[in-house]
Amino acid sequence: MNRNLIIFLTLIIFVSACAPASIPAPGPVSATQEPTFPAAATATPSPPTETFTPSPVPPTETPSPTPASTAIPTVESFKAKVSADKIVCRYGPGANYLYLIAFNQSTPIRLIGRTEGRNDWVLIENGQQDCWVNAQYLDISEGDPKTLPVMYPNGYKIPVSPYYGPTTVLSATRAGDEITVTWMEVIVSPGKYENEAMFPYLIEIWYCKGGEIIFDTLGSRVPFITFTDEAGCAEPSRGRVYIQEKHGYAGPAEIPWPER
């Protein structure tokens, strides 16, 4: 019996050794647990390509044009009367030109022109030789001298001297608003003077004052002169020099206007 028991135990051991290893049963799967899948690759959109959009160019600032003065309608002529006791009519638009004739108070006259640049003198009809009077001594009721056509320096011509030639401007210098002009001396003989008050040199200037070009005539007994010319005018200033004697004028000699 012992022998049979030993054989039985030996068989059991042999069978156990040859049996395959047991595979553990899979654990229970929860009913709510979703099966895990590898995450699908999400296509990440490429960042948008940067498109260069030019910034709008700011509009170029165009300076506003300086408003032009309102054009004044021009009239051909109009009538006036002498308001002073007597008024002198001269060969040019200023008190330093040669004398031509005089008119008594209340004399009717016809105005036909004015100067380029502001000036009080106006051109009047006078037969074969028109002449200039100061409008401050006129009774003007029919019009405005500013509406008359510009007759000087273009249009009306001052008489030419048969005895003298023009001078030559030697220099024109500026110190701020002051201009000094020097020219070559020309000696006018005493017999060629209209009277002792006559100036042998007549200087015409279109100068700037208060933003406006003004026309004036200056007289000199020496070959140089100093005057004022301000800044601030849209038009350039200018001037010229004449030799004056009782029969007329020699020149002009243009002034090379000095810059600031």
Question: In the chain, what are the domains?
Answer: 78-152 (2.30.30.40), 169-254 (2.60.40.10)
Output the pTM of the full model.
0.72
In this predicted structure, the answer to whether residue 133 has a pLDDT above a threshold of 70 is yes
Phi, psi of 225 (to 5 degrees): -160, 155
Report the pLDDT value the prediction gives residue 5, as an integer from 0 to 100. Answer: 52
Tokens of 106: 């209340």
32-76: pLDDT as tens digits: 344 443 444 344 444 444 344 444 444 444 444 444 455 667 899
Report the pLDDT value the prediction gives residue 74, as an integer from 0 to 100. Answer: 85
49-60: pLDDT as tens digits: 434 444 444 444
Nearest residue to 245 (alpha-carbon basis) of 183, 191, 204, 184: 191
Cis, bond preceding 166 (omega within 30 deg of 0) = no
Amino acid, res. 153: P
111-122: pLDDT as tens digits: 999 999 999 999
Using a CB cutoff of 8 Å and minimum separation of 24, what contacts does 102-110 make?
A: 103/133, 106/81, 106/82, 107/81, 107/82, 108/79, 108/80, 108/81, 109/79, 109/80, 109/81, 109/82, 109/133, 109/138, 110/77, 110/78, 110/79, 110/80
